[in-house]
A = this chain, B = another copy of it.
Amino acid sequence: MADAAPQRITDIGPPDFQQFLPPVVKANYGKWKYHEIVEPGVMVHVAESGDELYTIRAGSPRLLAIDTIRFYADLADKYCDGHLRFTSRHNVEFLTTKKENVAKIRAEIEANGNPVGGMGRSITSIVHTQGWVHCHSAATDASGVVKAVMDEVIDYFKEEKLPAKCRIALACCLNMCGAVHCSDIAILGIHRKPPRIDHKNLDKICEIPNLSASCPTAAIRPATVEGMPSVEVIEEQCMYCANCFTVCPAMPIADPENDGVSIWVGGKVSNARSEPQFSKLAIPFIPNNPPRWPEVTEAIVKIIEVWAANARPYERMGEWIERVGWPRFFKLTGIPFEKEHIDDFKHAGLSFKRSAHLTHEA
Bound form: Cα–Cα A347–B347 in Å: 7
Within 8 Å of chain B (Cβ to Cβ): is A87? no
Tell me which of B271, B355, B357 contacts A355 (CB under 8 A): B271
Question: Beyond the given A346-B346, A347-B347, A347-B350, could you list 9 further A-B residue pairs with CB under 8 A, ordered by the A residue number?
Answer: A271-B355, A271-B356, A271-B357, A275-B354, A275-B355, A275-B357, A276-B354, A276-B355, A350-B350
Chain B nearest Cβ from A326, distance in angstroms: 14
Binary B-proximity of A344-362 (CB < 8 A = 1, otherwise 0): 0011001000111100000
Chain B nearest Cβ from A293, distance in angstroms: 32
Which B residues are CB-close (under 8 A) to A275?
Answer: 354-355, 357
Chain B nearest Cβ from A248, distance in angstroms: 28
Which B residues are CB-close (under 8 A) to A346?
Answer: 346
Bound form: Cα–Cα A347–B350 in Å: 9
Chain B nearest Cβ from A277, distance in angstroms: 9
Which B residues are CB-close (under 8 A) to A357?
Answer: 271, 275
Q: Residues on A close to B: CB < 8 A?
A: 271, 275-276, 346-347, 350, 354-357
Number of copies of chain A assembled together:
2
Chain B nearest Cβ from A336, distance in angstroms: 26
Q: List 12 A-B contacts (CB under 8 A).
A: A271-B355, A271-B356, A271-B357, A275-B354, A275-B355, A275-B357, A276-B354, A276-B355, A346-B346, A347-B347, A347-B350, A350-B350
Which B residues are CB-close (under 8 A) to A347?
Answer: 347, 350
Bound form: Cα–Cα A271–B357 in Å: 7
Bound form: Cα–Cα A127–B249 in Å: 60
The 3 A-B residue pairs with the shortest CB-CB distance in the complex, in nearest-first order: A275-B355, A271-B356, A275-B357
Specify the chain B residue showing the minimal Cβ separation from A358.
Answer: B271
Bound form: Cα–Cα A100–B357 in Å: 41
Specify the chain B residue showing the minimal Cβ separation from A347.
Answer: B347
Bound form: Cα–Cα A346–B346 in Å: 9
Which B residues are CB-close (under 8 A) to A350?
Answer: 347, 350
Chain B nearest Cβ from A323, distance in angstroms: 14
Specify the chain B residue showing the minimal Cβ separation from A355.
Answer: B275
Bound form: Cα–Cα A276–B355 in Å: 6
Bound form: Cα–Cα A350–B275 in Å: 13
Bound form: Cα–Cα A275–B357 in Å: 7
Chain B nearest Cβ from A314, distance in angstroms: 17
Which B residues are CB-close (under 8 A) to A356?
Answer: 271
Bound form: Cα–Cα A354–B274 in Å: 12
Bound form: Cα–Cα A276–B353 in Å: 11
Which B residues are CB-close (under 8 A) to A271?
Answer: 355-357
Chain B nearest Cβ from A197, distance in angstroms: 31
Bound form: Cα–Cα A271–B346 in Å: 26
Chain B nearest Cβ from A346, distance in angstroms: 8
Bound form: Cα–Cα A354–B267 in Å: 14
Specify the chain B residue showing the minimal Cβ separation from A273.
Answer: B357
Chain B nearest Cβ from A329, distance in angstroms: 18
Bound form: Cα–Cα A265–B271 in Å: 27
Bound form: Cα–Cα A355–B277 in Å: 9
Specify the chain B residue showing the minimal Cβ separation from A353.
Answer: B275
Specify the chain B residue showing the minimal Cβ separation from A275.
Answer: B355
Chain B nearest Cβ from A205, distance in angstroms: 34
Chain B nearest Cβ from A182, distance in angstroms: 11
Bound form: Cα–Cα A356–B276 in Å: 9
Which B residues are CB-close (under 8 A) to A276?
Answer: 354-355
